[in-house]
Amino acid sequence: MSIFTKLSTVIKSNINDLISRAENPEKMLNQIILDMRDQLAKAKREVAAAIADERKLKAQLEAEVKQQRDWQHRAMLAVKEGRDDLAKQALLRQQEHAERATVLQQTWEAQAAETEKLKGSLRQLNDKIEEAKRKRNLLIAKQKRAQAQRRIHETMSGLSDTSAFEAFNRMADKIEEEERQSVAHAEVNAELGGDTLESEFLRLEAGPGGADVEDQLLALKAEMGLIAAPEAAAPKQLEAGDDGPAENGAPTVDADAEPASDGDDDQIPEAQLLSEFDKLEGKSAES
């Protein structure tokens, strides 16, 4: 299991534990970011150790290559001096260092390749942490918006309860009923305790209700030419003559004058009234 597989497992387990215990999402996100940064620091130390091992192998390889060249140079020097025995020993040492250099070359190349992979993984982990830090503010904003929407829905659901409005309407009806009763009591008290004489004079001043109807009837007859248009009444003067004032000071009465209306005519039912008009229209059509 590689180092980053271990780190990934640790991070996932820590995040799952935090999510299961999450009470304040903002605090949990901040804690997750801190845990990621701690794991990143550990990964950096592990990668640094791998880089140190790779450089150590490279140094050993370079040392073996140098020894190989040195012993080869010594063998050539021994040959020049006619010391073949020393030349053979130098060539044996040169061959041993060459073999070790070959093995170290392969090991170093493999270590260098793994180190580059670790560096790439470390950069990816760092980029993901930076992305998580950028997303944290967005997630916190979404979480706050969700909380605000939940509060709005809770408020609206509370407003949907009509019990308060029904109670308000019942109270309004009760107050209006009390007001109507108060006005009715005031009217009753006015009828019972008021000045009846004043009320009678007010009714007399109002005059008969049918006077307007009589005037309209006379105006209609005059318009139809059935009677002469009424002339403006001249001011009356008292004159001496045969026809003096009546006894007891009573005014003279014109015998040809129409009797005054006693008041409002009795109302005829609408159905009977329409029937009478139908008869009149029939007679008019026959004539």
Rounded to an integer, what distance in angstroms lies between the CA atom of residue 110 and that of residue 260? 138
Q: Which residue stretches of 207-261 are H helix?
A: 211-224
- Same domain for 27 and 59, yes or no, is yes
- Same domain for 140 and 69, yes or no, is yes
- Same domain for 174 and 135, yes or no, is no
User: Average model confidence (pLDDT) for the chain?
Assistant: 75
Least confident of 69-73, 106-110, 151-155: 151-155
Rounded to an integer, what distance in angstroms lies between the CA atom of residue 218 and that of residue 232? 14
Rounded to an integer, what distance in angstroms lies between the CA atom of residue 28 and that of residue 200? 90
In a domain, 236, yes or no: no
Total structural domains within the chain = 2
Q: Are 74 and 51 in contact (CB under 8 A)?
A: no
Span 37-79, pLDDT tens digits = 888 888 888 889 989 999 999 999 999 999 999 998 988 988 8
Rounded to an integer, what distance in angstroms lies between the CA atom of residue 81 and that of residue 74? 11
- Same domain for 188 and 85, yes or no, is no
Among 57-61, 78-82, 151-155, 239-243, which range has the highest average pLDDT? 57-61
Residues 72, 73, 78, 80: what is their CA dihedral angle, to the nearest 10 degrees? 120
Domain limit, last residue, from 102, 137, 160: 160
Rounded to an integer, what distance in angstroms lies between the CA atom of residue 245 and that of residue 252? 7
Rounded to an integer, what distance in angstroms lies between the CA atom of residue 169 and that of residue 166? 5
Q: Enumerate helices (H) and strands (E) in the chain, giving the number of each.
A: 7, 0
- Same domain for 173 and 117, yes or no, is no
| Token code pair at residue 27 | 């605090």
pLDDT at residue 122 tops 80: yes
